[in-house]
Structure 1
Amino acid sequence: MPRHQFREIMKFIRFDLKDQRSARLVKDKFDLVSEVWDSFIENCSLCYVLGANITVDEQLFPTNARCKFTQYMANKPDKFGMKFWLAADVGTKYLSNGFPYLGKDDNRPPNQSLSEHDVMKLMAPYLGKGRNVTMDNFFTSVSLAEKLEIQSTSLVGTVNRAQREIPQPVNTIKAPLYDTVVMKNNKITLTVYQGKKNKKVLTLSTLHPNIPIGNDQSIFQKQCHFIIQPSIESISIKTLASTGFYNILDLAGINAWVLFKQITGERISGRIFLQMISVELRTASAQSRQSRPNMRCPSSQATEQESEPAAKCQHRQCQVRKCKNKTFDLCNKCHMSVCGKRVEKVLQCCSECFVDDQ
């Protein structure tokens, strides 16, 4: 695709009315693309039934857009971006629920932490169904485990040892290398593993009442390594609406790949699958373009009139005001080659013919 044509398409990617934008952003900071995002999440939840294990994590989608809720995270490859809270299936990495982080949420109770509020919101459609949720140390807490246990949902996740809920002996005890200590409180099991000389790994679980202990260092890895963080490749976008829209395309591509494998049983990489989708979309667009006479070169029109195989349509230089852009398009009136910058979309004619008509 030519660069100018891509930029022309990007100009029209809008999901709201400009004159109503200010009033709508007061109610919803994500209103520029929230309607499309909500429809996407609804379709994702309807098209696939998640398994027994669900993982909750954060995603930083890179963007150069300037807005109030752009985040800076030094530990991410792209430092600046928009943060999304996502819930996905552990086995297939299928995304089922998610929402953007827009700053302070007025609906969050004052006595509830941000991480706990986000997990309960993501898991709301799956509570009371006997599922398990895995997470990293940002989300895991004893209070969250107790609330999920009431809703018949188990929890497995790493814990930050600096939390107040962690017993003091955990930080002071000096265990041998590859040693494991298990602590229990009702249905909550805390496992402390000395993975390195000066580093302990803490895992909180309400799913495993008993943790087998052995001398082999792989025992802990097999029993307590449950955290899965799916990575999502993306590109940097400069506007808020485009950021949300392109994130939807990325996530939809992953979900489509999962559904394709589940239905067909084929083993195919995600990269090859996305290439197949792009080829199919491009083929359909090319066929649609050939069916419109005003979008083809005279050589291809003459070939079709002679009932011969269509020849390849060559790029032509724009003939309006000595423009050097290459194009396939023709003016409907003067039949001169005209690029996207010089064409009037309503009448599909060049700017000079449009001025003459006025």
Structure 2
Amino acid sequence: MDYQNLFELMQQELGGDDTDESDDGSDEDYQPSEASESTDSDCDLEIESTSSSDNETDVRRQAPDSYCSRDGTQWFKHPMSLARTPQRNIIRQLNGKVTNVNGDFQNPMEAFSLYVCPEIVDDIVKWTNQFAETKLGTQWKQTDGIEVTALIGIWIIAGVTHNNNQSTEMLWSTKYGLSQVRSTMSRERFQHLMTYLRFDDKAERSQRQERDKLAPIRKVFDTFNARLQRFYSPGAYLTVDEQLVPFRGRCGFKQYIPSKPDKYGLKIFWIVDAKTFYPLKAYPYIGKEAGRVQVGLGEKVVMDLARPYARSGRNITMDNYFTSLNLALNLQKDQLTLVGTVRSNRTFVPAEFLPKRAREVESSIFGFRETATMVSYVPKKSKAVILLSTMHSSPDVIVDKNHKPEMILFYNETKGGVDSLDQLAHRYSVKRKTNRWPVVYFMNMVDIAAIAAYIIWLGKNPLWQNKQRTRRRHFLLELGEALTGPNIQRRMASNTREQLRCDFANAGYTAEVRTTSSEASPPAKKRRCHSCPRSSDRKVKTCCTKCMKPTCPQHGRFVCHDCAQ
């Protein structure tokens, strides 16, 4: 599929086109959050000016054609002459593409299983059965891969219909619930699986947790993380930012970020394709290491996330939580470029770049080094936006109404990759209320896997429902049906309850009623249609699958007119 078309499709998803009249009017679209707890990632969030005396307390000797920062870094006023394009700016792959996938997908489940793979499902089955047996003994009915995938399918169906926050009583209600959910498994079985769901050996967890706080879900998370990188090669522009997974239970590394919509949660750093929002790799934040605050965490996160893409010439856009001159130089060694906002208290920023009342609105100051460029733009009086780039090397200013430098416009175009991914995850999230953070982590993995599978699916099937405005919703519904289907068919073979037969029929399955004796049941007798006038005396063998009353083809097909109303 053409990369530009895929980019336009993902932008359409964010534009709110995947909602229709069936949506509940109370559901509001999630707005992408700010990128950092201490600062805004948008370059239009300006730095307020301080007094001129504060900005000029450290005056150093400098050349007349340069600026000098507090740590002695020299920034020249004019660009350095370059004989040829630097090797770090040579892009070897402009567009993203699907990799390591042979042939086309037959259904969305095949794309989803690339990420939530049989290895992950088998681990969940193994440890869930082991833990449940220690609690319930022989009373526990062994689960298997079909039932675990059906559990995930229920999550997805509840999420796409905006019922993920409904209670189980409401979700299984015959009046207000979903027949697809009731057909998949009983409410009691669903609650048991949610209670005993485990991702590791709890008996050995305490030893591993001394070295790794993510021990309860580490193996599953690492398997999932590795598979994200395997099936997609990103384009030239990447974005690094953080995601806050909402959670208010007990956890040693739970974060409080007041600028985020969810406020409390688990922080995960992501690197994504800036155009298609495909998630490439995650770096979980697990708090202090050995009881000490991690120094230089931003640089450590970016270097770890960017390692698979070294020597590719790609650019990484980030906010001021990560950006530093030292990080930019380290990325250059790996032939990667950086564009990001800069905090005003960084020691490599000259005093001339800081906000001042005397600076003219919409003016820009540029500073150049051999391998880096910095700009300070004034959008308002006494405000300033500072950007650092190793991708740009000229003082280009776009002549528009705001006279913004080209560096800032590029930053605005590529900064929102992770925020857009988070917005997509929130729109049809599978997350349910739980006090166990490993389950929250896994539910977030299901959300991310569904987004990645959708992008891969469009890459392989570009014409699939191309006239529909709700393509992602249809994809998730088909995915949920495919995940729950095998368990429904297994239940149909062993359950003859009248209500379940109705649920099977409403979910699109035909249940065959098994005879209780070894002899074949006699042929059904004809009975008078309950909807026809008695005078017509029309007798039929067919009946309504819901109320089981005799119904002729004229007055009903699967259900009679009375039940349909």
TM-score range, shorter chain: 0.7 to 0.9
Match of 1:297 among 494, 497, 508: 497
Q: CA deviation at 1:281?
A: 2.4
- Cα deviations across residues 251-281 of structure 1 (Å, max 9, x unaligned)? 1011011111111114565444323322332
Aligned to 2:440: 243
Does residue 14 (structure 1) correspond to residue 225 (structure 2)? The answer is: no
> Is 2:403 aligned against 1:206?
no
Q: Secondary structure at the match of 1:32?
A: helix
Instruction: State how far apart, in whole Å, the 2-side matches of 1:76 and 1:116 are.
Output: 22
The structural deviation recorded for 1:5 is: 4.3
Would the aligned equivalents of 2:244 and 2:268 in 1 still touch at CA under 8 Å? yes
Aligned residue runs from structure 1 range 1-358, under 5 A: 1-2=171-172, 4-105=188-289, 113-173=296-356, 174-216=358-400, 217=402, 219-220=404-405, 222-225=409-412, 226-228=414-416, 229-230=419-420, 231=422, 232-233=425-426, 234=429, 235=431, 236-266=433-463, 269-291=471-493, 293=494, 295-297=495-497, 303-305=513-515
CA shift, 1:21, in A, is 2.0
Q: Compute the displacement of 1:215 (Å).
A: 4.3
Q: Counterpart amino acid of 1:170? A: F
Scaled by the length of structure 1, what TM-score is found?
0.78
What is the letter of the counterpart of residue 303 of structure 1? V
SS in 2 for 1:38: helix
Give the equivalent residue in structure 2 for 1:326.
none
What is the percent sequence identity of the aligned residues? 30
Contact 2:310–2:336, Cα closer than 8 Å, also in 1: yes
Q: Which amino acid aligns with 1:273?
A: F
The count of residues paired between Structure 1 and Structure 2 equals 310
The answer for unaligned runs of 5 or more in structure 2 is 1-170, 173-186, 502-510, 516-520, 525-541, 548-565
Cα shift at 1:310: 11
Counterpart Cα distance in 2 of 1:312 and 1:239: 41
Q: Secondary structure at the match of 2:215?
A: coil
C-alpha contact 1:303 1:311 (8 A) present in aligned 2: no
Question: Greater relative contact order (Cα 8 A, min sep 6): structure 1 or 2?
Answer: 2
Amino acid of the structure 1 residue aligned with 2:388: L
Q: Which residue of 1 aligns with 2:538?
A: none
Q: Shift of residue 13 of structure 1? A: 1.3
Aligned partners of 1:132 and 1:207 also within 8 Å: yes
Mapped to 2, the partners of 1:6 and 1:244 lie a distance apart of 19
| Residues 133 and 153, structure 1, Cα contact 8 Å, conserved in 2 | yes
One-letter code aligned to 1:260? W
Cα distance, 1:172 vs. partner? 4.8
Partner of 1:339: none
CA-to-aligned-CA distance 1:91-122 (integer Å, 9 cap, x gap): 1111111121111346x998x61100111011
* TM-score (structure 2 length as normaliser): 0.51
2: CA distance between counterparts of 1:44 and 1:276? 22
- Is the contact between residue 297 and residue 313 of structure 1 (CA under 8 Å) also seen in structure 2? no
Q: CA deviation at 1:47?
A: 1.0
Q: Which amino acid aligns with 1:103?
A: G
Distance 1:59 1:39 in 2: 20
Does the residue aligned with 2:253 lie in a helix, a strand or coil? coil
Task: Tell me, in whole angstroms, the C-alpha distance in 2 between the residues paired with 1:278 and 1:302.
Answer: 23
Q: Contact 1:137–1:159 (CA<8 Å) still a contact in 2?
A: yes
2:324 & 2:359 partners in 1: Cα distance?
23
Structure 1's 105 and 153: CA in aligned 2 closer, same or farther, altered over 3 A?
Answer: farther
Residue 78 of structure 1: SS of its match in structure 2?
Answer: coil
Q: Match for 1:241: what amino acid?
A: P
User: Cα distance, 1:70 vs. partner?
Assistant: 0.8
Question: CA separation of 1:272/1:158 partners in 2, compared to 1, >3 Å: closer, same or farther?
Answer: farther
Report if aligned partners of 2:377, 2:404 keep a CA contact under 8 Å in 1: no
Whole-angstrom distance in 1 between the partners of 2:359 and 2:459 = 45
Measured after TM superposition, the shift of residue 214 of structure 1 is 4.2
- The whole-number CA distance in structure 2 between the counterparts of 1:102 and 1:109 is 11
Distance of 2:444 and 2:350 partners within structure 1: 41
Partners in 2 of 1:310 and 1:45 — Cα distance? 54
Aligned partner of residue 88 in structure 1, secondary structure: strand
Amino acid at match of 2:445: I
Kindly tell me: are residues 144 and 269 of structure 1, through their superposed partners in 2, closer, same or farther at Cα, counting changes over 3 Å?
A: farther
Q: Secondary structure of 2:375's match?
A: strand
Change (3 A) 1:19 1:147: same
In structure 2, C-alpha distance between the alignment counterparts of 1:126 and 1:177, rounded to whole Å: 39
Which residue identity is paired with 2:488? Answer: A
Structure with the greater alpha carbon radius of gyration: 2
Paired residues of 1:237 and 1:243 also in contact (CA < 8 A): yes
